[in-house]
Structure 1
Amino acid sequence: MERRGWETLESLSRIIERTSALLAGSLLIINIMDIVMGIVFRYLLKNSVIWTEEVARYSLVWLVMLGAAGALTRGDHMAIDFLVPKFPGWLKKTSVFLRLTIQVIVLFVLIWYGAQNVRGTWHMKTMALGIPKAIVLMAVPLGMSILLVQLLLLEFMKTRKDENR
């Protein structure tokens, strides 16, 4: 039973990572196509399309927020880790615990304030697209929630691997 639960957590983490990468890649393609379209319309056809700048900005925001979990899984987030491996065992464990605690606190703060921001902006519309600003701002609490789940899954799996050694 325990092995099955372990495999379920690994599967969930893999699904989150792949979904995050797929969504971020799709948004990158949308972003690039939108920018190219804006350039073509503005400079070749001499006719600006007003909403291209908003689509580029908002797709980039969503790309970053949704892609964060995939980047975490692959180890693509910036880290300065030359000092911690040189620490003695107890100090290494303490620094890892403090790092995880700070990450969880920061993510909870981003989720909380992001959700408060979303809640207060449903009545506001974007200038060009005319969509509720809450849809754009929802990227922060949603992306950070996914990142928090992935962070906790990865830490739990790492701890389990270390215990089994």
Structure 2
Amino acid sequence: MSIIVRGIDYINWVIKYVIGITLGSMAVIIAYQVFSRYVLGTSLSWSEELLRYLMVWVVFLGAAVALREKSLIGIEMFVERFPETIHRILKVFSYIVCMVFFIFIMYKGINVLESVSNQRSPAMRISMVWAYAAMPIGAFFMLLNSVAVLIEMFRKE
């Protein structure tokens, strides 16, 4: 089981670098867009569209990493009032519910990909599949990270 967790952690390590490179690229594009607009007097036609799509990717990938690191916002005030055994059961139950939700998002996301496969983005003229693929791919990584968290929860018992 620890091989699975280490594999998922390696994937998260790669995702963190992808997120960092993406955020850095976004900063450069924004800076150039501002420079181009206010200094050169021209505007990039594709920058806002690209930044919007990159932001969606960063959000979905970042949510997956945050889930693994248990950095997502949660309300545990109610749950922490229970004894430790019930507290663990409720946590396992909540991760299982989340996993079902992630599978649902993956399924619906793949359906969306099929419906937008013939569409092109207005400014960049790329397939909209690239923009919408963040949803099922991000949900897949969230599902993987939920599995890793559950494995660690059961390994500690």
Fold similarity call, TM over 0.5: yes
Deviation at 1:9, TM superposition (A): 1.9
- Structure 1: where are the runs of 5+ without partners? 1-5
Pick one of 1, 6, 9 that aligns with 1:11.
6
Between the aligned residues of both structures, percent identity stands at: 22
Distance 2:13 2:46 in 1: 30
Distance 1:149 1:106 in 2: 13
Pick one of 140, 144, 152 that aligns with 1:145.
140
Counterparts of 1:1-165 in structure 2, within 5 Å, are: 6-162=1-157
Deviations 1:28-77 (A, max 9, x none): 11111111111111111100110000111011111111222221222221
Aligned residues: 157
Runs of 4+ more than 6 Å apart: none
**Higher relative contact order structure (alpha carbons within 8 Å, sequence separation ≥ 6):** 2
Distance 1:10 1:106 in 2: 21
Distance 2:126 2:19 in 1: 21
Q: Is the 8 A contact 1:16 1:70 kept in 2?
A: no
TM-score by length of 2: 0.92
Compared CA separation, residues 7 and 104, structure 1 to 2 (3 A): closer
Q: Is the 8 A contact 1:34 1:55 kept in 2?
A: no
Distance 2:111 2:23 in 1: 27
Q: Is the 8 A contact 2:68 2:148 kept in 1?
A: no
Q: What SS does structure 1 have at the residue aligned with 2:116?
A: coil
56-65 vs 10-19, which moves further: 10-19
CA-based RMSD: 1.5
- Structure 2: where are the runs of 5+ without partners? none
Distance 1:154 1:74 in 2: 9
